[in-house]
């Protein structure tokens, strides 16, 4: 955070403020998400399931401080899709310097990726998804999809759109507002 604060001091005259977002991608598909059900001890849950591999990807960014979020749907994950997401994100928040916490996916580091001027990518340590609070948002969304069967991808997309509409900033902030992140933002005077 200290390095970001120093970089931001240089860049801040161009922008009104600094905002910190957590960002990741998640796959949503027709293959049934199995989960816990209340059963007798030692009895596995029984439910209908399907084994289809049609899917789409949801790219998302959430600001832990306010819960403000942006989600964008793509058919796959690659540098071109990520470039389009970054461009859309930069256009939605043009007046602030936006720090995005991301994992070490290859498409996040591609040489041909052109990061917009108002975005700074902050890479988390490798193999540590638990450090990115947006993982809890994906868990929250998929919780309502457990044991659900969808006839086609359009029905699943409709359900996910409904779940995103129900994801209020208060819920998103409660899921992503880890104390260590909020404390670091406070120490760095990033509000």
Per-residue tens of pLDDT for the chain, all 191 residues: 555 555 555 555 677 789 999 999 999 987 766 777 677 788 877 766 667 778 899 999 999 999 999 999 999 999 999 999 999 999 999 999 999 999 988 888 899 999 999 999 999 988 888 889 999 999 999 998 887 788 888 999 999 999 999 999 999 999 999 888 888 888 877 76
- Judging by DSSP bridges, how do beta strands 96-102 and 17-29 pair with one another? parallel
Exposed/middle/buried for 7, CB within 10 Å: 0-12, 13-18, 19+?
middle
Q: What span, in angstroms and rounded, lies between the C-alpha atoms of 160 and 141?
A: 8
Q: Which CATH number fits domain 2-29+49-135+144-185: 3.10.270.10, 2.170.140.10, 3.30.420.10, 3.40.50.10490?
A: 3.30.420.10
Exposed/middle/buried for 90, CB within 10 Å: 0-12, 13-18, 19+?
middle
Task: Check if the beta carbon of residue 149 is closer than 8 Å to that of residue 48.
Answer: yes
Q: What span, in angstroms and rounded, lies between the C-alpha atoms of 126 and 102?
A: 10
Where in 8-54 does DSSP place strands (E)?
17-29
């Amino acid at each position: 955070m200290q390095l970001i604060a120093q970089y931001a001091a240089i860049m801040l005259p161009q922008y009104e403020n600094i905002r910190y977002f957590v960002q990741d991608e998640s796959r949503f598909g027709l293959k049934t998400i199995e989960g816990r059900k209340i059963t007798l001890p030692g009895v596995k849950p029984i439910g209908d399931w399907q084994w289809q591999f049609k899917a789409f990807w949801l790219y998302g960014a959430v600001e832990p401080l306010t819960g403000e979020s942006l989600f964008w749907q793509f058919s796959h994950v690659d540098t071109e899709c990520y470039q389009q997401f970054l461009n859309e994100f930069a256009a939605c928040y043009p007046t602030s310097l936006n720090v995005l916490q991301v994992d070490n996916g290859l498409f996040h580091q591609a040489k041909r990726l052109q990061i917009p001027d108002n975005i700074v990518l902050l890479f988390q340590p490798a193999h540590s998804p638990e450090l990115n609070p947006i993982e809890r948002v994906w868990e929250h969304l998929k919780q309502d999809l457990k044991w659900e069967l969808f006839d086609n991808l359009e029905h699943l997309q409709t359900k996910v759109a409904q779940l995103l509409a129900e994801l209020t900033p208060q819920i998103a902030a409660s899921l992503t507002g880890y104390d260590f992140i909020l404390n670091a933002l406070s120490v760095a005077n990033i509000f």
